[in-house]
Amino acid sequence: MATVRASAVAIPIEFGNLAANLAAIRAALTRAEAGPHLIVFTELATSGYVFTDDNEARSLALSADDPRLTSLADAVPDGAVAVVGFCEQADGALYNSALVLTRSGALGCYRKSHLWDAECRIFATGGEAGTVLDTPVGRLGVAICYDNEFPEVPRRLALAGAEVLALPSNWPLVQRPAGEHPPELVQAMAAARASRLPTVIADRHGVERGVEWTGGTAIISPDGWVCATPDEHGVASTVLTTTSDKSIGPYNDLFADRRPELYTPDYALLNRTSY
């Protein structure tokens, strides 16, 4: 087992102001503790989310090697890892992406594979359902927002050895019964518990172009409980224990007990008309 500080940072984002948003990300990194420390920013943190059209998104897009973006590595604390959501332009297409940075530079870039609502008008889909990277804070899984609402994604990352999941998000506010968690958070809690995969969610708050955000920034423990929520600065932070051990008591193991041969579609059942 290992311990890692995790921080989910929901900075105020000024739509369309790349310079101001990049400066806010840099300032938050400068204030962060040295590692081992995972620091997760929100989805599309450099630009904002509610694009009018493709042309507007292109005007705010960055390549993964744009110096304005990669220079943030200078502000990443020693031993820490930062995950920054941005609008990526590559090979003529736009992607909803997250760049993973250390003080030494970029470790990788993930492109969102499950697009929500009108995102399909702007972005191309990424080619993998989340990614796993070896980092100074361990095996890091990265997915973006709606990706995590497909149970296959966090489970896939956990099976690939992810020890913690970074989840930049922009959750539009939806109605829910009084006292209940946001539905996206409930799903994230269940996924974390199902694979013993602690999850660090940085979610937008406030309103952008008429879209009200959930403000669901939270850190979820390996047992599926919310163990940190934002302070007055929009930062949720705690120390997580990470482990590859999936045992639960003397007789059960979350991975060893799986029966994948039983989970494929059973066409006899699907086509059954009477019982």
Residues designated catalytic = 43, 112, 145
243, two tokens: 């482990």
Strand-strand pairing, 199-203 and 164-169? parallel
Paired with 5 in beta bridges are: 37, 239
3-state secondary structure of 270: helix
Report how far apart the first and last C-alpha atoms of the chain are (Å, whole number).
49
* Cα gap 264→270, rounded to integer Å: 11
CA triplet 226, 96, 114: central angle to 5 degrees? 70
* Cα gap 228→218, rounded to integer Å: 6
Following CA atoms 168, 173, 177, 179 in sequence, which dihedral angle do they give, to the nearest 10 degrees? 60
* Cα gap 186→150, rounded to integer Å: 13
**Integer angstrom CA distances of residue 5 from 39, 117, 144, 199, 236:** 8, 33, 20, 12, 11
31, two tokens: 């204030």
* Cα gap 82→105, rounded to integer Å: 10
Looking from the CA of 48 toward its CB, the CA atoms found within 13 Å total 23
**CB-CB contact of 21 with 14 (8 Å):** yes
